[in-house]
Amino acid sequence: MDSFTPTSTNTNTIVDALTKAIVEHRLHPGTKLAEQKLADHFGVSRTLVRQALFQLSQNRLIRLEPARGAFVAAPTVAEARQVFAVRRMLEAEMTRAFVREATPGRIKALKDHLVQEKSALKDKDALGRSEVQADFHVRMAQLLENEVLVQMMVELLSRCSLITLMYQTESAQEIGAEEHDDIVKAIAAKDEARAVQLMEEHLRKIESSLTFDRKVPSNDIAMALA
């Protein structure tokens, strides 16, 4: 097992280690993350552990329950299907609105994002790939200048990120960049029907890449973080 010292361990180290264990299915959904056990493992104070757990709860990788503690989030198959169903409904309308309200500036901003996305994908790990691909969808909402839509998209994408990280196979993690490019081309061509169709197909493809018959991970925190 790796050893950690207070001088070499910070909040990000704990966040990264727990994220990796969850993403790689070494921590079972529903596992309790005891602060003292984590503090002993990393050789840090419970305050630092608590900060890391709060950050993970913001990313929806874990859930914090009053008087009970922190637990690895456990989205069900039904919840995963519901999240994608809502995304298809919401993003179809968002795409329609974007085509109708498209300006040269907004299209350029999306194309610029695609350049950044493709560059980032070359170096990102599984978590990074998921985040940068989700950013494309949030960016569309931001460019429409609808703050309510942006908030809803951030919430949905946070939940979707956990679902894809937990249930998506390694071979399916490259889904995204080329499909985003096709969507932007349809928007630039003012082809509303095509853009909506591509967005819906894109989301269905991501959903179809999920696999729920996973090997049961470990409940043992020390073993999972080894």
Query: Element (H or E) spanning 52, and its range?
Result: helix 46-58
**77-208 in CATH: which number?**
1.20.120.530
User: Domain extents for the chain?
Assistant: 11-74, 77-208
For 203, the token pair is: 């989301």
pLDDT of 92 higher than 70? yes
Cα separations (Å) of 102 from 94, 147, 216?
A: 11, 17, 47
pLDDT of 216 higher than 70? no
Which residue type occupies 9?
Answer: T
pLDDT tens readout for residues 100-116? 999 999 999 999 999 98
**11-74 in CATH: which number?**
1.10.10.10
pLDDT tens readout for residues 133-187? 778 999 999 999 999 999 899 888 877 877 876 777 655 555 677 899 999 999 9
pLDDT tens readout for residues 12-65? 899 989 988 877 768 877 889 999 999 999 999 999 999 999 999 987 789 999
Torsion of CA 145, 194, 183, 197, to 10 degrees: 90
Return the percentage of the chain with pLDDT > 90, whole number. Answer: 50
